[in-house]
């Protein structure tokens, strides 16, 4: 039975939505397509090839920037996820306490402050610390990334915890499990999908950061995004397309896993 | 669990996260505030003496010869451009985002998740990559100009890159998902039977949109607008890549003070001002959101 008049339809909606999806994807698809371009310039199509991937792969700067990005993202996501898990356990499923709102606001603070302001603040503070201590290693970047990754790790873990009821833990305690055993054998396995989801979001967020990294890094500490930003000031070769496409593929893969993990069942 | 135990273990468990955030997020902001009241060092950095010069300099300039005080036109122009471009970005993303969100929300439930996923992919894609993708589209030798020339519509490439238009296109592109997602959440909660009732009572399409849909999805409109306006105002990467050196926004102007400008106190004052504007916007949002929930 067909309806002659669909009340939910508004004139032009499908048209504008179609244009929006086209506008969202056309530039990305173009970028990906030209990463396989055999020509030297971006605007001319010279046939299909992997040469820019090979060029990027062989580029020393790209190699070290990739390694640095992965080290920072791994360290920051492990740190952020660990402390965020503890904070989520401390702020959910318990009697409301004084300062709970403060903790909540403090954890979400990196989401509210413009990145450029945080970047400048870290530049100022770390510049003094670098002079005072003489240490100029990756520690600063890992600390900065850990901080802004905390809310991204915290939110999915907290959401998962709020959906878990306390009965299983109470049962474990009734059976004489001590608090650590209860946590290790009951809470942690139930919480695991939330922790993995939080860690993956943190990893993606760290991997993508440009602004804070650009201000905090010492000389010769380029990550993949800051290396790309530097390249954009010069004549752009499709090598940047190749790196972008690789990074894009990694992000999409991680996000797909994230959605499968956090998908509501039933 | 006793209330006091709950509070103590709550704080203890949260302490490591709070410590990291204090070291590398909130603590440094206090330092910026202090720096905005210091004297600038000759080669960058600061001299530890109290001064309100930086704050004065944000709004006014003093003529070096006549000592005459006038409004700092250059700074105000950058602020005005940032606010104007951010408001325009918000308006355009709403005009495009509302139909898009409506479209997604009215799909059959089994296909809705896929459309939503298609919006989230660009949202999570590196901002730099998306900006770079737009750069390739609007460059003089880019896809847009090439297509227009091939079609015979224009004889020479239109210079879009390195203009305010380029920054506007770029920001609209990168922040569109931030408008669509909260709008979708609001429309998804909207009871479509209200539309049936309205049409049964001979409401026109325009009346339905204005009197029923827009008021009921208002929380989503407010949330989407704030989510787009706030990062637009603090944008750094997009204006830097698409706007070139001349079309600065506040973010780039702040960076300049820590680079060639060598005026850290002014940069610090500008940062605090930007933060203050963002906080006001967020407060408006929180108040609007709590008023909505108070009604429901």
Q: Do B24 and A143 touch (CB under 8 A)?
A: yes
Question: What span, in angstroms and rounded, lies between the C-alpha atoms of B46 and B40?
Answer: 5
Q: Under 8 Å CB-to-CB from B135, ≥6 apart: which residues? A: A232, B142, B161, B170, B241, B242
Q: Do B236 and A120 touch (CB under 8 A)?
A: no
Residues of chain B above pLDDT 70, percent? 97
Residue of chain A nearest B229, judged by CA positions: A114
Name which of A40-49, A108-117, B5-14, B171-180 the model is least confident about.
Answer: A40-49
Number of folded domains that form chain A: 2
Main-chain dihedrals φ then ψ at residue A46, nearest 5 degrees = -115, 20
Name which of A194-198, A228-232, B3-7, B113-117 the model is least confident about.
Answer: B3-7
- The pLDDT tens digits of the residues spanning A167-181 come to 888 888 889 988 888
Q: Which residues of A touch B147 (CB under 8 A)?
A: none
Calculate mean pLDDT across residues B156-173.
92
- Using CB atoms, pick whichever of B120, B135, B254 lies closest to residue A120: B254
Kindly provide the residue ranges of all beta strands, DSSP E only, lying in chain A, ordered along the sequence: none
Q: Do B268 and A124 touch (CB under 8 A)?
A: yes
Sign of the dihedral through C-alpha A178, A183, A184, A185: positive
- The pLDDT tens digits of the residues spanning B237-277 come to 999 999 877 778 999 999 999 988 889 999 999 999 999 99
Band of residue A266 on the pLDDT scale cut at 50, 70, 90: very low
List, as one string, the DSSP characters of A205-231: HHHH--HHHHHHPPTT---HHHHHHHH
Question: What span, in angstroms and rounded, lies between the C-alpha atoms of A42 and A34?
Answer: 7
Q: What per-residue confidence (pLDDT) applies to A237?
A: 76
pLDDT exceeds 60 at position A137? yes
Q: Do B35 and A23 touch (CB under 8 A)?
A: no
Residue of chain A nearest B17, judged by CA positions: A83
Q: What is the largest CA-CA distance in chain B?
A: 78
> Looking at the structure, do residues A162 and A43 belong to the same domain, yes or no?
no
Name which of A11-25, A228-242, B17-31, B44-58 the model is least confident about.
Answer: A228-242
Q: Which residues of A touch B119 (CB under 8 A)?
A: 24
pTM, two decimal places:
0.89
Closest chain A C-alpha to B224 CA, distance in angstroms: 14
pLDDT exceeds 50 at position A2? no
Spatial CA neighbour of A110 closest among A79, A148, A158:
A148
Q: How far is CA B288 from the centre of its chain?
A: 18
> Looking at the structure, do residues A212 and A257 belong to the same domain, yes or no?
yes
Q: Which residues of A touch B33 (CB under 8 A)?
A: none
Q: What per-residue confidence (pLDDT) applies to B166?
A: 94
pLDDT exceeds 50 at position B234? yes
Which listed CATH number (3.90.226.10, 3.20.20.210, 1.10.3720.10, 1.20.140.10) goes with B73-295? 1.10.3720.10
Percentages helix, strand, coil for chain A (3-state, rounded to 5) are 75, 0, 25
> Looking at the structure, do residues A19 and A146 belong to the same domain, yes or no?
no
Question: What span, in angstroms and rounded, lies between the C-alpha atoms of A240 and B189?
Answer: 42
Question: What span, in angstroms and rounded, lies between the C-alpha atoms of B99 and B115?
Answer: 13
pLDDT exceeds 80 at position B29? yes
**Six-digit token string for A7:** 């009340």
> Looking at the structure, do residues A33 and A106 belong to the same domain, yes or no?
no
Spatial CA neighbour of B242 closest among B169, B143, B175, B141:
B169
ipTM over the 0.90 cut-off: no
Task: Tell me which of B70 and B34 has the higher pLDDT.
Answer: B34
> Looking at the structure, do residues A66 and A191 belong to the same domain, yes or no?
yes
> Looking at the structure, do residues A64 and A45 belong to the same domain, yes or no?
no
Q: Under 8 Å CB-to-CB from A17, ≥6 apart: which residues? A: B99, B100, B102, B103, B104
Q: What per-residue confidence (pLDDT) applies to B292?
A: 64
Is B166 within 8 Å of B138 (Cβ atoms)?
yes
Q: Is residue A255 part of a domain?
A: yes
Note whether A232 contacts B: Cβ–Cβ < 8 A.
Answer: yes
Q: What per-residue confidence (pLDDT) applies to A124?
A: 93
Q: Which residues of A touch B99 (CB under 8 A)?
A: 10, 12-13, 15-17, 20
Q: Do A110 and B25 touch (CB under 8 A)?
A: yes
Calculate mean pLDDT across residues B116-143.
88
Calculate mean pLDDT across residues B33-45.
90
At which residue do the structure tokens 């998908």 appear? A263
> Looking at the structure, do residues A151 and A202 belong to the same domain, yes or no?
yes
> Looking at the structure, do residues A16 and A124 belong to the same domain, yes or no?
no
Under DSSP, the state recorded for A184 is I
Q: Do A150 and B118 touch (CB under 8 A)?
A: no
> Looking at the structure, do residues A103 and A230 belong to the same domain, yes or no?
yes
Q: Do A90 and B12 touch (CB under 8 A)?
A: yes
Helix (H) or strand (E) holding B23: none
Helix (H) or strand (E) holding B22: none
Q: Is residue A92 part of a domain?
A: yes
Q: What per-residue confidence (pLDDT) applies to A1?
A: 43
> Looking at the structure, do residues A114 and A27 belong to the same domain, yes or no?
no
What's the mean per-residue pLDDT of chain A?
Answer: 88
Calculate mean pLDDT across residues A42-65.
86
- The pLDDT tens digits of the residues spanning A225-243 come to 999 998 887 767 788 889 9
What's the mean per-residue pLDDT of chain B?
Answer: 89
> Looking at the structure, do residues A64 and A177 belong to the same domain, yes or no?
yes
Calculate mean pLDDT across residues B29-33.
96
Closest chain B C-alpha to A113 CA, distance in angstroms: 7
Spatial CA neighbour of B20 closest among A136, A146, A84:
A146
Q: Which B-chain residues 199-258 have CB contacts (< 8 A) with chain A?
A: 199, 205, 209, 230-231, 233-234, 236-237, 240-241, 250-251, 254-255, 258
pLDDT exceeds 80 at position B295? no
Percentages helix, strand, coil for chain B (3-state, rounded to 5) are 75, 5, 20
Q: What per-residue confidence (pLDDT) applies to B293?
A: 61
At which residue do the structure tokens 């202090």 appear? B34
Q: What per-residue confidence (pLDDT) applies to A162?
A: 86
Q: Under 8 Å CB-to-CB from A89, ≥6 apart: which residues? A: A161, A187, B13
Q: What per-residue confidence (pLDDT) applies to B55?
A: 92
Spatial CA neighbour of A148 closest among A188, A116, A191, A124:
A116
Is B46 within 8 Å of B264 (Cβ atoms)?
yes
Band of residue B296 on the pLDDT scale cut at 50, 70, 90: very low
pLDDT exceeds 70 at position A41? no
> Looking at the structure, do residues A124 and A234 belong to the same domain, yes or no?
yes
Note whether B50 contacts A: Cβ–Cβ < 8 A.
Answer: no
Is B169 within 8 Å of B139 (Cβ atoms)?
no
Q: What per-residue confidence (pLDDT) applies to B143?
A: 83
Q: Which domain holds residue A193?
A: 60-262
The residue ranges of every structural domain in chain B are: 73-295
Q: Which residues of A touch B121 (CB under 8 A)?
A: 252, 255
Calculate mean pLDDT across residues B34-60.
89
Under DSSP, the state recorded for A98 is T
Query: Pairing relation of β-strands B46-50 and B60-62?
Result: unpaired
Is A114 within 8 Å of B40 (Cβ atoms)?
no
The 8 Å CB, 24+ separation contacts for A227-234 are A227/A61, A227/A62, A227/A65, A228/B128, A228/B129, A228/B132, A229/B128, A229/B237, A229/B240, A229/B241, A232/B132, A232/B135, A232/B241
CA distance to A179, B24, B47, B214, B252, per residue, from B44 (Å): 54, 22, 10, 51, 17
């Amino acid at each position: 039975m067909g309806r002659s008049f669909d009340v939910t339809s508004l004139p032009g909606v499908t048209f504008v939505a179609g244009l929006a999806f086209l506008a969202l994807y056309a530039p990305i698809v173009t970028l990906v397509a030209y990463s396989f371009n055999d020509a030297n310039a971006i605007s001319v199509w010279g046939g299909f090839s992997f040469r820019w991937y090979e060029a990027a792969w062989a580029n020393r700067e790209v190699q070290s920037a990739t390694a640095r990005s992965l080290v920072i993202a791994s360290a920051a996501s492990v740190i952020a996820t660990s402390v965020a898990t503890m904070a989520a356990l401390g702020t959910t499923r318990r009697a409301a306490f004084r300062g709970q709102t403060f903790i909540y606001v403090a954890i979400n603070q990196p989401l509210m402050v413009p990145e450029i302001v945080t970047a400048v603040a870290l530049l100022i503070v770390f510049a003094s610390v670098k002079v005072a201590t003489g240490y100029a290693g990756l520690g600063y970047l890992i600390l900065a990334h850990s901080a802004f990754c905390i809310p991204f790790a915290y939110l999915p873990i907290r959401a998962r915890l709020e959906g878990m009821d306390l009965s299983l833990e109470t049962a474990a305690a009734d059976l004489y499990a001590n608090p650590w055993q209860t946590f290790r054998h009951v809470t942690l396995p139930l919480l695991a999908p939330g922790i993995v989801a939080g860690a993956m979001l943190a990893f993606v967020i760290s991997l993508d950061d440009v602004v804070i990294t650009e201000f905090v890094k010492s000389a010769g500490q380029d990550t993949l995004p800051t290396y790309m930003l530097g390249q954009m000031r010069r004549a752009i070769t499709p090598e940047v397309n190749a790196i972008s496409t690789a990074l894009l593929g990694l992000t999409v893969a991680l996000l797909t896993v994230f959605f499968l993990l956090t998908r509501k069942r039933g | 669990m006793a209330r006091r135990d709950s509070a103590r273990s709550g704080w203890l468990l949260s302490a490591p996260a709070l410590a990291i955030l204090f070291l590398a997020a909130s603590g440094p902001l206090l330092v910026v505030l202090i720096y905005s009241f210091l004297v600038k060092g000759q080669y960058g950095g600061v001299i530890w003496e109290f001064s309100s010069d930086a704050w004065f300099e944000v709004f006014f300039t003093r003529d070096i010869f006549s000592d005459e005080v006038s409004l700092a036109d250059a700074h105000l122009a950058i602020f005005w451009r940032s606010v104007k471009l951010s408001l325009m970005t918000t308006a355009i993303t709403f005009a495009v985002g509302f139909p898009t969100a409506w479209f997604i929300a009215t799909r059959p439930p089994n296909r809705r998740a896929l459309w939503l996923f298609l919006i989230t992919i660009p949202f999570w894609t590196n901002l730099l990559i998306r900006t770079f993708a737009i750069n390739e589209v609007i460059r003089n030798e880019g896809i847009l100009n090439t297509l227009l020339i091939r079609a015979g519509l224009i004889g020479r490439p239109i210079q879009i890159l390195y203009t305010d238009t380029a920054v506007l296109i770029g920001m609209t592109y990168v922040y569109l998902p931030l408008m669509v997602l909260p709008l979708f959440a609001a429309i998804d909660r909207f009871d479509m039977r209200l539309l049936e009732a309205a049409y049964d009572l001979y409401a026109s399409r325009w009346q339905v949109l204005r009197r029923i849909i827009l008021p009921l999805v208002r929380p989503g409109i407010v949330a989407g607008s704030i989510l787009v306006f706030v990062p637009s105002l603090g944008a750094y990467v997009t204006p830097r890549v698409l706007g070139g050196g001349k079309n600065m926004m506040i973010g780039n102007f702040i960076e300049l003070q820590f680079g060639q400008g060598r005026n850290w106190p002014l940069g610090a004052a500008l940062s605090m001002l930007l933060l203050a504007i963002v906080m006001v916007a967020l407060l408006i949002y929180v108040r609007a959101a709590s008023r909505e929930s108070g009604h429901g």
